């Protein structure tokens, strides 16, 4: 039994790296649905079905707790999964919550009325599906008032990362940042609303400028998971072996994962 980490492809590896460093004693099973990436251009029903299939595969590995390390799945499928599909003895958690907590400086369970927060102008960079869902804006509005969010759908960035084309990914990042800044010239903070994007965090920061605080999810999710497992240690389980599964070609996926993480990663066929 281990903790499952699900993603549409390679992006969730940024989260896995952070949670593995934070919780070195915990075994993780990573599932990348590389055969169907990117999720960001799919419709909500398609994302729901693919996400459920991946989570079931992780349950088969003994992962009663699964982290959706994919903003698109968290935005488009998680609420429906939790309300209609996840059995009582399993848990599926998303990556939005820690980001909202950090931005609003309040815990998820704090149900007091929305209040003003320090940051007023926020740039959100995400996949087209995440932007279309408006999930980030909806959850933020429950907790904060007076925050202007400008969302930029970043078409092509995930494809370039999955293909291992860093030069194209950097060029696309620069183009998307320029497009957003035409609508919001002076953002105070930027949310990298896709777990693939931390691979390009330096490119985002350079294009945005030094005065913009860039929020990346990996470290926030790691801290949140550590807190959750402290409260619910039964979901850690006795597993000791971590593994990597992919619906894509294991050899190719392993090469690209190793390229971005800069240490060897070996995927097996899911």
Q: Which residues are catalytic?
A: 70, 194
CA 133-135-139 angle, 5° bins: 160
DSSP β-bridge partners for residue 122:
149, 189
Q: What are phi and psi of 246, to 5 degrees?
A: -145, 145
Residue 221: strand, helix, or coil: helix
Q: Cα–Cα distances in Å, from 254 out to 2, 30, 194, 249, 262? A: 21, 12, 20, 8, 11
Taking the C-alpha atoms of residue 258 and residue 44, their distance in angstroms, rounded to an integer, is: 31
Structure tokens at 260: 């971005």
């Amino acid at each position: 039994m281990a903790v499952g980490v699900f993603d549409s492809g390679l992006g969730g590896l940024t989260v896995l790296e952070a949670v593995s460093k934070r919780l070195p004693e915990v075994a993780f099973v990573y599932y990348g649905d590389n055969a169907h990436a990117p999720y960001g251009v799919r419709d909500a029903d398609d994302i729901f079905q693919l996400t459920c299939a991946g989570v079931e595969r992780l349950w088969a590995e003994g992962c009663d707790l699964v982290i959706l390390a994919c903003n698109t799945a968290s935005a488009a499928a998680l609420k429906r999964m939790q309300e209609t599909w996840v059995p009582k003895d399993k848990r599926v958690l998303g990556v939005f919550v820690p980001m909202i907590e950090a931005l609003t400086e309040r815990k998820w369970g704090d149900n007091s009325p929305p209040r003003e927060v320090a940051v007023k102008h926020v740039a959100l960079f995400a996949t087209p599906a995440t932007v279309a869902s408006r999930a980030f804006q909806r959850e933020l509005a429950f907790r904060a008032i007076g925050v202007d969010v400008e969302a930029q759908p970043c078409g092509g960035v995930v494809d370039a990362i999955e293909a291992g084309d860093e030069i194209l990914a950097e060029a696309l990042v620069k183009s998307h940042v320029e497009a957003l800044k035409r609508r919001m010239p002076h953002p105070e903070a930027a949310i990298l609303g896709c777990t693939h994007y931390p691979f390009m965090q330096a490119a985002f920061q350079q294009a945005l400028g030094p005065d913009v605080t860039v929020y990346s999810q990996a470290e926030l999710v790691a801290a949140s998971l550590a807190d959750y497992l402290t409260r619910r240690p039964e979901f850690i389980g006795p597993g000791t072996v971590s593994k990597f599964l992919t619906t894509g070609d294991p050899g190719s996926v392993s090469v690209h994962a190793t390229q971005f993480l800069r240490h060897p990663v070996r995927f097996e066929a899911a």
